[in-house]
C-alpha cells in the first residue's frame, strides 16, 4: 500500500486531473497527451474553496483519469509510480487516502471505471496480430484478478463510461486498415453487442469521455474537422444519440476540454477563454448555454477531468451470455441488399449482391453464398475481428467492407442489412438462412467441437 497525505476526501468534494502543460493534440493510438503524460496529478478541493486544493497523488510520478465508486468511498485512477514505468490501475480509499495497486500487467493501462458488481473496466495497450497495436478494453475483479479482454478489433478504445443501463460507452477509433474518425461505441460489459452510439461530422474529434446526466443527456467535448480548437461542448440525447446533437457552447466562444454534469442546470466545464490561458474549471448553465463563474484555476496547470465525490445509483448489472466453453458466436443478417431510404444514389444504384466475403485483418476467411432473400447466417470463431463486404455473382465487390465486428463466445447477434439505418428495427420475418445450420467462418473449418449451450 502506498500512503498519500493523511487526510480524507469527503463527500461533495471535487477531484480533478491537472496537467503541467497545455494539451493540444490528443493521440488516440498510443495515448500521448493527457494519457500517459508525465507529471499529471490528481487533486481534490472543496467547491467554493479553491484554496483547499490538495494533491492526492504526490507519491506518483504521474496520475490521471479518476473515477469514483458508487458508494463514494473509493477512487480508481491510472498512474505511473516512477518515470518510464508502465501505467497501471490503482485504487485510493478516500477515507484515508491509502492506495493499492489493482493491475500489474504488460501494456499501459488507463481510463478505469467501476462496473456494477465487483468488476472494473479499463483500457490497456495491446499488441498482437489480431488488434495490431491498439487500446483494448479489459475487465477484471476489483483485486485485479481474472483479467479478461472484451474488445477484439484493430480499433482503439478509450475514455470508457458506464451508462445507467449498464452498458459501456467508449471512444473508439479504427486503426487498421486506415485511421478512422473517433466515434462513441456502446457495448455490454462482456464485450457483446458492440454498436455505434454516436458519430459526429466527418473529421470531428472526440476529446473527452461521455458523461450521462440525470435528465437523459450525454455530454462531452468534441472538436470539428480535425482541428483541435476550439473544443465544443456537445449534448446528445441518450434516447436518440445519432440525431440530437446540440452544441451547447457555440455562443460562448470558449475552448472546451471536458465536462462534469452536476445537475441538469449546472455543469462544471474545463475550458479556456483564449489560447494563451490555461484550461480552468468553470460553471456552465446548459439551459441558458452560458458560461458562469470560474471555480478553479492554476497558473501552472491545466485543469482536466473533474469528478464529484458522492454516492450515486449503481447502473444496472447486465447478465452475460458469454460462455468461455463455447468457441464461436452466431451472426444473422436479414438482407445484404437492404437499402436504407436515405441512402445516396451510389449505394441505391449498386448491383445486387449474391455473396459475402468475410475479411480478417490480414486475410480472407472465405466467401459465402447468401440466401434468395439476401440473408446469411454465420458461426464465427469468437474473439476475432472481421469485416464483411458484399459481392455480385462474378465476385466483384458491390459494397463494403463494413466496420469491424467481433463476436464473443456464445454471442448471438443480428443485423438488418449492410446499409441499415442504425435506427431501424427489423422486419418481422423468418430469414431463409436460419432454416439451415450456420456457415462456419473461417470457411475452411468444417466442424467446431465445443460445448452446446441451451440459452432458453
Partner 1 sequence: MRRYFKFIIPVAILGVLGSFLYKPYHRWAREHVNYITATDDHPPGCTSCHLYLKRTGVISKIVNASYYSPFNLAVSNDGRDLYVVAEEGNALLVVDTEKQRVTHKVEVGNRPHSVILSKGGETAYISNQWSDNVSVVDLATFKVTDTLKTGGGPAGLALSTDGKYLYTANSFSSNLSVIDLSTGTERKRLTAGNNPAGMQINADGSLIFVTSRRTLSAPFGDTIRCEVTIVNDNKQRVVERRDIKSAYMMENIAFTPSGDLAIMTLVRPKNNVPTIQVERGWMMTNGIGIIELKPSGRTVQLLLDEPNAYYADPFDIAITPDGKRAFVSHAGVDCISVIDIEAIRKLIAESTDRALDTFSNHLGISSRFVLKRIPTGANPKGIALSPDGKVLYVAEHLEDRIGVISTERLETIGSIHLGGSGRITVARRGRRLLNNAGHTFQNQYSCYTCHPDAHEDGLVYNMASKDMGRNITNTQSLRNIGDTPPYKWNGKNQTVYKQDGMRFSTVLTRTEAFSYKELDALTAYIMTGIPNPPNLQYNPNGEMTEAQERGKAIFERTHDFKGYEIPVVNRCVTCHPAPYYTNKQMADVGTLALSDDTILFDTPHLNNIFASPPYLHDGRAATLEEIWTLFGKTEQHGSVNDLTKIQLNDLVEYLKSLRDVEYEPKPSQVQKASFSH
Residues that bind partner 1 (CB under 8 A): 116, 165-166, 193, 195, 238-244, 316-321, 330, 332, 340-341, 377, 412-414, 421-431, 434-438, 452-456
CA torsion sign for 410, 146, 160, 218 is positive
Position of cell 483500457?
Answer: 123
Least spacing, CB of residue 261 vs partner 1, in Å: 18
- 418's enclosing H/E stretch is strand 412-419
Residue 384 CA, distance from chain mean position:
19
Q: What is the DSSP letter of 315?
A: P
- 283's enclosing H/E stretch is strand 280-285
Least spacing, CB of residue 153 vs partner 1, in Å: 18
Closer residue to partner 1, CB minimum distance, 117 or 360: 117
Closer residue to partner 1, CB minimum distance, 179 or 421: 421
Phi-psi region of 58 (alpha: psi -120 to 50; beta: other; left: phi over 0): alpha
Closer residue to partner 1, CB minimum distance, 88 or 410: 410
Three-state SS at 93: strand
Least spacing, CB of residue 319 vs partner 1, in Å: 4
Least spacing, CB of residue 428 vs partner 1, in Å: 5
**β-pairing, 148-149 with 132-141?**
antiparallel
Least spacing, CB of residue 216 vs partner 1, in Å: 8
Closer residue to partner 1, CB minimum distance, 189 or 261: 189
Shortest CA distance to 112 belongs to which of 71, 151, 142? Answer: 142
Work out the number of other CB atoms within 10 angstroms of the CB of residue 318.
18
Q: Are 133 and 175 in contact (CB under 8 A)?
A: yes
* Bridge partner residues of 221 (DSSP): 233
- Cis (ω within 30 of 0) for the bond into 401? yes
Position of cell 495497486?
Answer: 101
Least spacing, CB of residue 196 vs partner 1, in Å: 11
Least spacing, CB of residue 314 vs partner 1, in Å: 9
Closer residue to partner 1, CB minimum distance, 1 or 287: 287
Closer residue to partner 1, CB minimum distance, 61 or 347: 347
Closer residue to partner 1, CB minimum distance, 102 or 433: 433
Amino acid at each position: 500500500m502506498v500512503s498519500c497525505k493523511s487526510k480524507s476526501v469527503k463527500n461533495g468534494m471535487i477531484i480533478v486531473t491537472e496537467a503541467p502543460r497545455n494539451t493540444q493534440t490528443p493521440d488516440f493510438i498510443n495515448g500521448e497527451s493527457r494519457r500517459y503524460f508525465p507529471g499529471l496529478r490528481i487533486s481534490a478541493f472543496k467547491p467554493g474553496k479553491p484554496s483547499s486544493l490538495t494533491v492526492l497523488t504526490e507519491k506518483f510520478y504521474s496520475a490521471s483519469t479518476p473515477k469514483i465508486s458508487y458508494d463514494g468511498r473509493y477512487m480508481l485512477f491510472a498512474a505511473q509510480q516512477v518515470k518510464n514505468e508502465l501505467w497501471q490501475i490503482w485504487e485510493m480509499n478516500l477515507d484515508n487516502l491509502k492506495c493499492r495497486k489493482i493491475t500489474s500487467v504488460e501494456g499501459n493501462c488507463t481510463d478505469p471505471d467501476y462496473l456494477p458488481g465487483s468488476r472494473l473496466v479499463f483500457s490497456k495497450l495491446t499488441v498482437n496480430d489480431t488488434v495490431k497495436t491498439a487500446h483494448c478494453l479489459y475487465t477484471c475483479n476489483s483485486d485485479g484478478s481474472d483479467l479478461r479482454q472484451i474488445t477484439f478489433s484493430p480499433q482503439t478504445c478509450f475514455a470508457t463510461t458506464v451508462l445507467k443501463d449498464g452498458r459501456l460507452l467508449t471512444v473508439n477509433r479504427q486503426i487498421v486498415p486506415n485511421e478512422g474518425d473517433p466515434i462513441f461505441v456502446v457495448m455490454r460489459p462482456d464485450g457483446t453487442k458492440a454498436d455505434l452510439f454516436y458519430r459526429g461530422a466527418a473529421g470531428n474529434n472526440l476529446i473527452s469521455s461521455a458523461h450521462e446526466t440525470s435528465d437523459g443527456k450525454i455530454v462531452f467535448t468534441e472538436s470539428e474537422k480535425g482541428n483541435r480548437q476550439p473544443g465544443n461542448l456537445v449534448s446528445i440525447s441518450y434516447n436518440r444519440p445519432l440525431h440530437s446533437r446540440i452544441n451547447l457552447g457555440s455562443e460562448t466562444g470558449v475552448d472546451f476540454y471536458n465536462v462534469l454534469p452536476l445537475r441538469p442546470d449546472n455543469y462544471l466545464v474545463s475550458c479556456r477563454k483564449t489560447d494563451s490561458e490555461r484550461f480552468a474549471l468553470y460553471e456552465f448553465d446548459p439551459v441558458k448555454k452560458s458560461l458562469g463563474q470560474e471555480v478553479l484555476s492554476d497558473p501552472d496547470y491545466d485543469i482536466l477531468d473533474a469528478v464529484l465525490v458522492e454516492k450515486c445509483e449503481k447502473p444496472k448489472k447486465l447478465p452475460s451470455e458469454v460462455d468461455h466453453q463455447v468457441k464461436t458466436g452466431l451472426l444473422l443478417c436479414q438482407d445484404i441488399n437492404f437499402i436504407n431510404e436515405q441512402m445516396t444514389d451510389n449505394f441505391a444504384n449498386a448491383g445486387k449482391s449474391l455473396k459475402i466475403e468475410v475479411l480478417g485483418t490480414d486475410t480472407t476467411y472465405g466467401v459465402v453464398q447468401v440466401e434468395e432473400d439476401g440473408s446469411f447466417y454465420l458461426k464465427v470463431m469468437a474473439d476475432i475481428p472481421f469485416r464483411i463486404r458484399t459481392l455480385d455473382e462474378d465476385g466483384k465487390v458491390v459494397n463494403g467492407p463494413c466496420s469491424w465486428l467481433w463476436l464473443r463466445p456464445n454471442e448471438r447477434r443480428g443485423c438488418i442489412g449492410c446499409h441499415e439505418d442504425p435506427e431501424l428495427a427489423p422486419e418481422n420475418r423468418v430469414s431463409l438462412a436460419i432454416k439451415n445450420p450456420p456457415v462456419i467462418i473461417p470457411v475452411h473449418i468444417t466442424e467446431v467441437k465445443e460445448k452446446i449451450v441451451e440459452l432458453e
